[in-house]
């Protein structure tokens, strides 16, 4: 078995990579957010890192009903209490309620029960932020169903969650003005490291590559983020609801819990080149709210339009991935 074919980067690709190091200040911020009175927002992985900051901005600057979908109940309930205190301190908003739904996106059997629990609480969902993720875990790390952990969590887990939420999400979108109902898929500029066409179909889990080098590790992460970008572009084409905007983002080069598997040397370097996770929330909420974002767009830090790698843009690439994701998640619907 050989290594995956990684396309060379164009000038525009390199420009996007370098943008992450010097992104400038966010321009679309809390002053620009809608009130979202009576609306419902879901943030996966909202108990930590970028998701935590996204929930805090939502709770402080909007009146949406917010739900965190995450794995660890104790950690999330603690995070919610901390969020309430910080929202009161930073935004002068008190007694803010934030809901919690327990789900482990690395275990597909937990997704449907989580959605059923949510549906028992709410009769609408307006915005879904598919934020939770894993980055470059140790070699051999697997999701519950045997997929490579990043593929299983970042891609399949979110695909199934979105699939099960779609009926309510689509019905809600019919009652909303165009562009209010949105799906934000957390991709990354690391999608540039993905195999040609986004996915290494010959060996999707990278189990047979000759040697698991640092480059291969990055390519495996890049594959999951390319898949998220393709999901964002393909959702609307598969569903055909013009009121909905489905888009992807690279939130920025951020110092978050995603670096938990980095070496000590890498963590030392990251302190000097990465931005505080708070800034990434501005990218997320730019994609969630900005009138400048259109269906299928890709945005980068901290609220700037960008382009995906060209080989990821074809309908053929989207159809192949979508068909595989549907087939793999069919048993859990």
Domains of the chain in start order, with CATH, are 11-332 (3.40.50.720)
pLDDT tens-digit series, residues 218-249: 999 999 999 999 999 999 999 989 999 999 99
State how far the alpha carbon of 193 is from the alpha carbons of 4, 14, 189, 255, in Å: 10, 12, 8, 20
Average pLDDT estimate for 135-147: 94
What number of other Cβ atoms are within 10 A of residue 135's Cβ?
A: 21
3-state secondary structure of 155: helix
* Cα dihedral value 109, 112, 116, 118, nearest 10: 100
pLDDT digits (tens, 9 = 90+) for 247-275: 999 999 997 766 566 666 666 666 656 88
Tokens of 124: 């609408």
Largest CA-CA distance found in the chain, in angstroms, rounded? 58
- Report whether pLDDT(107) > 80: yes
Segment (H or E) for 184 = strand 182-186
CB 258 within 8 A of CB 270: no
Dist. CA 305–CA 301, nearest whole Å: 9
The residues annotated with a catalytic role in the active site are 187, 221, 225
Name which of 82, 104, 28, 96 is nearest 282 in CA terms: 28
Say how far apart CA 109 and CA 8 lie, in whole Å.
Answer: 38
- When pLDDT is averaged across residues 52-78 and rounded to a whole number, the result is 98
The answer to whether residues 166 and 111 touch, using CB atoms and an 8 Å cutoff, is no
- Whether the CA torsion 134, 184, 223, 214 is positive or negative: it is negative
Q: What is the overall mean pLDDT for the chain?
A: 94
User: What pTM was computed for the model?
Assistant: 0.95
The DSSP call for residue 135 is -
List, for residues 174-212, the tens digit of each pLDDT value.
Answer: 999 999 999 999 999 999 999 999 999 999 999 998 888
pLDDT given for residue 235 in this prediction: 98
* Greater model confidence, 289 or 270: 289
Torsion sign over Cα 70, 76, 77, 79: negative
* pLDDT value for 274: 86
Structure-block tokens of residue 189: 């500029």
- Quote the CA–CA distance of 224 and 221 in Å, as a whole number: 5
């Amino acid at each position: 078995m050989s290594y995956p074919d990684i396309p060379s980067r164009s000038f525009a690709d390199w420009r996007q990579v370098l943008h992450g190091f010097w992104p400038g200040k966010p321009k679309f911020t809390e002053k620009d957010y809608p009130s979202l009175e009576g609306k419902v927002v879901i943030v996966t992985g909202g108990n930590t890192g970028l998701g935590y900051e996204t929930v805090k901005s939502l709770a402080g600057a909007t009146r949406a009903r917010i739900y965190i979908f995450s794995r660890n109940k104790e950690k999330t309930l603690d995070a919610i209490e901390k969020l309430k205190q910080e929202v009161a301190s930073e935004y002068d908003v008190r007694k803010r309620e934030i809901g919690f739904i327990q789900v482990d996106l690395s275990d597909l059997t937990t997704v449907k029960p989580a959605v059923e629990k949510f549906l028992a609480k709410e009769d609408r969902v307006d915005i879904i932020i598919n934020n939770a993720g894993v980055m470059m875990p140790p070699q051999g790390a697997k999701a519950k169903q045997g997929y490579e952990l990043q593929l299983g969590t970042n891609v399949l887990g979110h695909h199934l969650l979105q699939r099960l939420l779609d009926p309510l999400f689509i019905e809600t979108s019919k009652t909303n003005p165009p562009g209010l109902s949105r799906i934000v898929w957390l991709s990354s500029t690391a999608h540039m490291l993905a195999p040609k066409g986004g996915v290494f179909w010959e060996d999707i889990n990278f189990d047979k590559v000759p040697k698991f080098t640092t480059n291969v590790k990055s390519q495996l992460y890049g594959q999951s983020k390319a898949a998220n970008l393709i999901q964002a572009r393909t959702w609307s084409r598969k569903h055909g609801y013009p009121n909905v905007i489905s888009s992807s983002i690279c939130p920025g080069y951020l110092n978050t819990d995603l670096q938990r598997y980095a070496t000590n040397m890498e963590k030392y370097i990251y302190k000097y080149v990465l931005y505080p996770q708070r800034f990434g929330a501005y990218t997320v909420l730019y994609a969630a709210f900005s009138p400048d974002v259109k269906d299928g767009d890709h945005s980068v830090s901290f609220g700037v339009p960008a382009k995906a790698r060209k080989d990821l843009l074809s309908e053929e690439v989207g159809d192949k991935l979508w068909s595989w994701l549907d087939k793999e998640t069919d048993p859990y619907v």
